[in-house]
Amino acid sequence: MRFSLKLRQFSAVLCCVAGIGLTIPVAYAQSGGNGKPPEPQKPAADAVKETQKKIDEIAEATRVLNGPAGNPECVWLGRRVVNLLWRDDLDTAFRHLDLYDRFGCPSAHIQATFRCLVRQGNIDPKAQETLNGRVHACWLNPGLEPAPAEAAVQPPASTSGGTTQR
């Protein structure tokens, strides 16, 4: 009987040690112990500002546009479709376009907005303007004229002295 009691105690201790041995690696793996510091998160104030900006843009589109193109769901989905088309993510754009059509939104507005976006030309990475801003502007006014091209750079005046460059 004494042997059986010691065997039980030994088994219990062995199970506890094995359990602890198994949970430590799992806890370490879940804690993100890969040596990378956690990515900084946006402050809550920035997230609130961004959300409010999106709400304001949709409200503006509802005021400016007549008909279904101004419905909030059409504005949200339509702008996403045009944005995805610009970035050549056609598969995702077509899936969104199916939803857009399902809500009864006008597909002609997508076409006109994308045409406007293409006519505007590429976005300069150094410029303040963003793709989302340009898509929003074209969504509100698909007939928006392209911004005038900057004046061509004038070649430097030739120096006097009668020599020509070859």
The confidence score (pLDDT) of residue 152 equals 41
Judge whether 123 lies within some domain: yes
Which of 130, 128, 141 is closest to 87 using CA atoms? 130
Average the pLDDT over 36-60 and give the result: 78
pTM > 0.75: yes or no? no
Judge whether 97 lies within some domain: yes
- Identity of the residue numbered 126: K
Judged against a pLDDT cut of 90, whether residue 40 lies above it is answered with: no
- pLDDT tens, position by position, 65-88: 889 999 999 999 999 999 999 999
Judge whether 56 lies within some domain: no
DSSP-assigned letter for residue 137: H
Average the pLDDT over 116-137 and give the result: 86
The confidence score (pLDDT) of residue 79 equals 94
Is 142:115 a contact under the CB 8 Å cutoff?
A: yes
Judge whether 136 lies within some domain: yes
Judge whether 73 lies within some domain: yes
Judge whether 61 lies within some domain: no
Task: Report the alpha-carbon distance of residue 84 to residue 96 in Å, rounded.
Answer: 9
Domain span at 94: 67-140
Number of domains in the chain: 1
